[in-house]
Structure 1
Amino acid sequence: MKEITPYGHMIQDYYVNKLRVVMNDRSKKLTSIKNRKDAEKYVSDVRSKIKKCFGVFPAKTPLNAKTTGVLKKDGYSIEKIVFESRPGFYVSANLYLPSGIKGKVPAVLGACGHSDTGKAAEPYQSFCIGLALKGFAVLIYDPIEQGERQQYLREKHPLIPEGLCAKHNMSGNHMQLAGEFFGSWRVWDGIRALDYLLSRPEVDTSRVGMTGNSGGGTLTSFIGALDERITMTAPSCYVTTYLHNIENELPQDAEQNPPGFFKYGLDMGDLFLAHAPRPTLLLAQKNDFFDPRGTEKTFTQIKRIYRILGHEDDVESFTGPDSHGYHLKNREAMYKFFLKHAGVKGKAAEPEIKLETHENLSVSKSGQLLTDFKNAHPIFELTAGKAVELRKKRKVPSIKELSKTVSSMLAVKMTDSVPHYRKIRERYEDELFLFVNRFAVESEPGIQAILFSFTKNAPTHFLDMGKTAVLHIPHLSTRSDFNDGKIPAHEEGTTVFSLDIRGIGETAAVSCGFPEDFFAPYETDFFYGCCGSLMQEPYLGGKVKDILMTLNLLKSAGFNDITLSGRGLGAVPAVFAALLSGNVKKTILCNALLSYQELAEAIAYKWPFSHMLFGVLKKFDLPDVFTALKGKLSIVDPWDEQMRLWNKKPCAVHCGELGIDKAVISFS
């Protein structure tokens, strides 16, 4: 059967419509603010909500900061700094100091965008030098996987991706299984960098700015919202509205999507209102993929609140004429703003800049901290360690506790309601001599899961009444599973159905640039996984809901003996649906993932973010679900973290370690 995607924009429209409701509610709240008391209450409220999204930060440990070298330049110097934001987690930084300092000077924390060379990239060196020559102390540090902080140096692995953003997602996605948000790790590096900057005797701690571009604009916005020591901010090429990003089908890295942000009714403007009326400059570009129309809308919202607070002049916006990047005109707008609010006399024009090589700015001898410091830990090693700790602490839940926890984490509310379904025009497959019957099951407003059945002599225009059925949840599509012979064979008296749940097969999203690879690390499946995370309504939970509602539909048609089959990606929502539904007599999983633990402990993995749950390893793992289905479950040809077939002997050992009954596992 040939693949078709007639519902290719369904998921996109679903999330756009959900977010419009959230943002309309937020707009009404902002409009209702009429006086200072209202504004101050709103500021306090969003500050509290933002903190919840980022979670609890670790206790501060000694920075163990060291200076490994100094470059003396004309009008300024550059100190090469290394410190530990967490024990064994090293951060490289450059401190730019004006020459001839008398007394204390204002300071700026610089945040890098997504540049491979980190702090050595041209625009970041430029604004550091420019600010130093205007009398500011500037500390700029390498974010994770950038500059001297590459994380995948010691290991060779076939699934370590190419490209900075893809590596960020590889590091960030699986740590969510352990309840960790990659954005919080990056923010913590910045907070500890700020600790170091403010410890310097040259720095006036009452005049502290922060700026950065793109991913650095993200960090500026996040850290500015979370750390009150920042007294003025100038994020560049990041601030728009989340609705513009979602409407424009713009994925962002794992670190740019705080879990629950939409659940709490937040938008980007709230990152600045959290400490209103602190001086804020929003920098944008005319031809940026971060939509400047959203920047203008955010600015208008912020300015109104600042006006009510009596500080209308402390928020500004500047849109440069260029494409994405911290180009000259935006840097000069930032200089002017910081000079004004730091009370420093000077001109906004950028002086002549002489750039250093990456090698000259390197803190480490080799150019990489993981090479120089043998006790240094890559981030995936720390994620694995956290997962191991959680496994030791985790208790086996009762079936009742497990069902309640699974339902809550998936954000699935159990119901016996029978969904409406549409009859879609059947297709006759000449080569197969089969009618492919199709029904669109409306599992919730805006979502249709496509239910297939197969008949030889004539099409069926309604769901036949029956008793015994198999409901198959395919890996990537019903059509590909059918073509590969993976859909369970028909047996006399049994009706076989297959269901394209949201995001696969006929509902596979045709957005985000139409990627050909479903598993592309920065495209549609990841994008909608992030949308679900921001809503705190997991994309995986929606897939489970599609199955549960279809099971209700089949039950209403008289099917009281239902076997649920799931393959590959389909096995994950299938096993959760089997646990939660009372309509499943037997469950067969083919090519199933055996545990979330193995993903969290892996250097790299293929299973996508869309099939993960935030903090799941704090509560349970897949083997707990398998145990709860004992006597009604079989797993055939399980896959490992790379989606490869397990070998029998290693699988037996692995199952023993996980507490999975070996009798459940079989190989074809």
Structure 2
Amino acid sequence: MTSRFHRRAFARTLAGSLSVLALADFPRSELCGQDRSAQTLPPLNRFPRMMQEFLVERVAEAHGRSVRAKELLQTRGDAERYVQSVRDRIALCFGPYPEKTDLDARVTGVIERDQYRVEKIIFDSRPNFPVTANLYLPKRPGKVPAVVGTCGHSANGKAAEAYQSFAQGLARLGYACLIYDPIGQGERLQYMVSKNGHVQSKYGVGVREHIQAGNQQFLVGDFLGMWRAWDGIRALDYLLTREEVDPQHVGVTGNSGGGTMTTWLCGVESRWTMAAPACFVTTFLHNAENELPADTEQCPPKALALGLEHEDFLAAMAPKPIVILTKERDFFDVRGGEEAFKRLKRLYTLLGKPDNIALHTGPTEHGYSIENREAMYAWFNRITGVSDAEREPEIVIETDETLQCTPSGQIASAQTATVFSMTRDKALLLQKQRGQVDSGQLPKLIQQVLNVAPNLPNDPPDYRILRNIGNRKYSRPANTTYAVETEAGVFALSYMLTDAPRYSRPPQDARPAVLYVAHRSSDQELRDEDWLRKLITDRPETPVFACDVRGIGEALPNTCGLNSFDDP
């Protein structure tokens, strides 16, 4: 815990009437005579599986509804209506879409190679929000099929070896391929700092920047996955401005985080004629059961509530041709990919195009390795007829600097917008639009936002009285832990600090009490936070409670760590 975190204590009576004592931004002082051995005690964590199993149960229920809906499809008409329904539901997750504005595309350099050329492209997916990209163009006459390439979580974005390889391989086979840097990667860092004369990300490239930006966006009603998908949509817009491109054959492919984007793009953009998502498609349920970490763009808002699974984003494109590329040793569970394919095969069969959906499983671990790249080439070649090659052409890997679109290697400047600056601007606009909120209406508004029942029961919820764990070095010599069941299988852990051991329910007399809601761990903060220790010792006659809400402290999942707010 550091002084930058806000702390608040709340005083209330045990009878339930509420008065609030807010204690915010307390400075962190030196430990005033505190037993320093208290700092060495690990935080209590007696319910480490609670949130994991609660999540799995909820996801399993949603997954079951999704599967049953597809099992009910019996006719071509049923299948067509289902495809339209998933398109409509996906729009509720990702929409509303922003207005398309001037791409302001510019070519900053050209690399000439034997069979192809690479143009260094910068375009604006939103006003003053530049995207750095490489356009690989085959040296052959006439119009050629084209592919948008989406990158996984590579620090160097489009210059990563696997991603260079598929873009260059496509060009050598006769395709145009536009591969662009994701937000927070390659030349598009959003949170830059200078260290030892070098520019680097303040939080960490890729996942960490995505989480930082995405969590802030949730507060203003935006979804980073849509922002990233929008970059892909605008990349397609740019491709279709090129005279070299055949608009009858435009595909999308990507691996890992790029497989995520390929999957989402199949659901939000109707102009694709073919797709090859790699190392992503499984099920939300397998990801939850397998304790798979994810960053913000991989979790579309309301997707589970709307009955959507991974395969539904591909179903939105049905019956156009798609190959699902999986790996036998991938952490994205190949069993989920097989299940998704099986359900899509049935859908495509009802639509009269059973051969337009395929599954390829490479033998190795996660990554866009050559066996999966060759499966992608073969699939696109079958559709376009541009080549009959069965193997990847010889690839020559370029240096990062050779492929850079900018002199410095970073596009952001004081003059360009960033995700953060646009989130800030939207927050200020929303603040202006809503004006002053009447304090009397605030509880109702909070209930609506948090989906909290407006009329809570007067009777206290059921609770457990847990076995006492002594010698925790709190400001009072004894404590009792109550596990309050807030819904089936979910507990809020509340400590009552006392002068003498207590093994029963709290006192029933109605008098003011202090309830401290922990930031990360009541157990740790009751020991480490000087301001909190002083608050307790200054009120010797006041009952003090400290609470760990679900997901922190006593219920911190053992699938993550104490600092996993920013790093899953």
Q: TM-score range by the shorter chain?
A: 0.7 to 0.9
User: Could you give the per-residue CA deviations for residues 284-336 of structure 1, whole angstroms, max 9, x where no partner exists?
Assistant: 11111111111111111111111111111111111111111100000000000
Task: After TM superposition, give the deviation of residue 249 of structure 1 in Å.
Answer: 1.5
**Contact persistence 1:422–1:439 (CA under 8 A):** yes
Which stretch shows the higher mean deviation, 412-421 or 179-188? Answer: 412-421
Q: Which secondary structure does the structure 1 equivalent of 2:437 belong to?
A: coil
Are the structure 2 counterparts of residues 159 and 495 from structure 1 closer, same or farther at C-alpha, using a change threshold of 3 Å?
farther
SS at match of 2:62: helix
Pairing 1:521–2:529 present: no
| Corresponding residue number in structure 2 for 1:506 | 554
**Alpha-carbon offset, residue 210 of structure 1:** 0.5
Could you tell me how far apart the structure 2 residues matched to 1:224 and 1:175 are? 23
Structure 2 equivalent of residue 318 of structure 1 = 360
Larger relative helix fraction: 1
1:79 match: 119
Aligned counterpart for 2:536 among listed residues 489, 501, 515:
489
Q: Is the 8 A contact 1:466 1:495 kept in 2?
A: no
Q: Which runs of 5+ in 2 are unaligned?
A: 1-37
**2:309 aligns to what?**
267
Could you tell me which residue of structure 2 aligns to residue 47 of structure 1?
Answer: 87
C-alpha distance in 1 between matches for 2:73 and 2:370: 37
Q: Deviations over 1:369-418 (max 9, x none)?
A: 225xx632232222222222222222223345433321121111132153
Instruction: Give 1:431 deviation, angstroms.
Output: 6.8
- What does residue 68 of structure 1 align with? 108
Select which of 172, 179, 184 maps to 1:145.
184
C-alpha separation between the residues in 2 aligned to 1:428 and 1:91? 57
Structure 1 residue 6: deviation in Å? 1.3
Identity within the alignment, %:
43
**TM-score, length basis structure 1:** 0.74
Give the aligned partner of residue 336 of structure 1: 378
Which structure has more relative contact order (CA 8 Å, sep 6+)? It is: 2
Gap change, CA 1:34 and 1:83, over 3 Å in 2: same
TM-score normalised to structure 2 length: 0.86
Per-residue CA deviations over 1:105-152 (Å, capped at 9, x if unaligned) read 211111111111111111111111211122211111111122222223
Q: Aligned partners of 1:131, 1:499: CA distance in 2, in Å?
A: 57
- In structure 2, the partner of 1:442 is 485
Match among 149, 154, 157 for residue 110 of structure 1: 149
User: Taking structure 1 as reference, are residues 467 and 235 closer, same or farther at Cα in structure 2, changes over 3 Å only?
Assistant: same
Which of 491, 496, 506 lines up with 1:463 in the alignment?
506
How far the C-alpha of 1:211 sits from its partner, in A, is 0.3
Give the equivalent residue in structure 1 for 2:460.
418
Mark the CA change 1:362 to 1:474 in structure 2 (over 3 Å): closer, same or farther: closer
Equivalent pair of 1:251/1:522 in contact (CA under 8 Å): no
Q: In the TM superposition, what whole-angstrom CA distance separates every residue of 1:53-98 from its partner, at most 9, and x where no partner exists?
A: 1121221111111122222211212112111111211111111111
Matched, 1:172 2:220: no
Do structure 1's residue 223 and structure 2's residue 248 form an aligned pair?
no
Which residue of 24, 28, 53 maps to 2:68? 28
Q: Is the 8 A contact 1:429 1:436 kept in 2?
A: no
Distance 1:477 1:100, change over 3 A: closer
Alignment of 1:224-239 (within 5 A): 224-239=266-281
Distance 1:489 1:345, change over 3 A: closer
User: 1:480 is matched with which residue: 524, 537, 549?
Assistant: 524
Write the deviation string for residues 19-66 of structure 1: whole angstroms up to 9, x where unpaired: 111111111111111111211111111111111111212211111111
Report the equivalent of 1:90.
130
Q: Partners in 2 of 1:508 and 1:71 — Cα distance?
A: 51
Residue 368 in 1 paired to residue 380 in 2?
Answer: no
Secondary structure at the counterpart of residue 14 of structure 1: helix
Question: Matches of 1:510 and 1:169 in 2, distance apart?
Answer: 20
SS in 2 for 1:48: helix
Choose which of 301, 304, 314 in structure 1 pairs with 2:343.
Answer: 301
Cα 1:355–1:489 shift into 2, 3 Å: closer
Q: Does the 8 Å contact 1:238/1:290 carry over to 2?
A: yes
Q: Is the 8 A contact 2:140 2:174 kept in 1?
A: no
* Secondary structure, aligned partner of 1:266: coil
- Sort the Cα spacing of 1:235 and 1:456 in 2 relative to 1 into closer, same or farther, 3 A: same
Q: Helix, strand or coil for the counterpart of 2:508?
A: coil
CA distance in 2, matches of 1:21, 1:32: 17
CA contact (8 A) 1:209 1:233 kept: yes
- Partner residue of 2:497? 454
Equivalent residue pairs, number:
517
SS in 2 for 1:489: helix
Q: Is residue 189–residue 205 contact of structure 2 (8 Å, CA) maintained in 1?
A: no
Task: Please report how far the alpha carbon of residue 344 of structure 1 lies from its aligned counterpart in structure 2 after TM superposition.
Answer: 2.9
1:459–1:418 CA distance, 2 compared to 1 (3 A): closer
Whether the 8 Å CA contact 2:194–2:200 is kept in 1: the answer is no
- On the 8 A contact 2:324/2:358 being kept in 1, the answer is yes
**Residues 343 and 431 (structure 1), Cα distance of their counterparts in 2 relative to 1, 3 Å cut:** closer
Cα offset for 1:520? 5.2
Give the conservation status (yes or no) of the 8 Å contact 2:83–2:318.
Answer: yes
SS at match of 1:85: strand
Alignment partner of 1:383 out of 406, 423, 444: 423
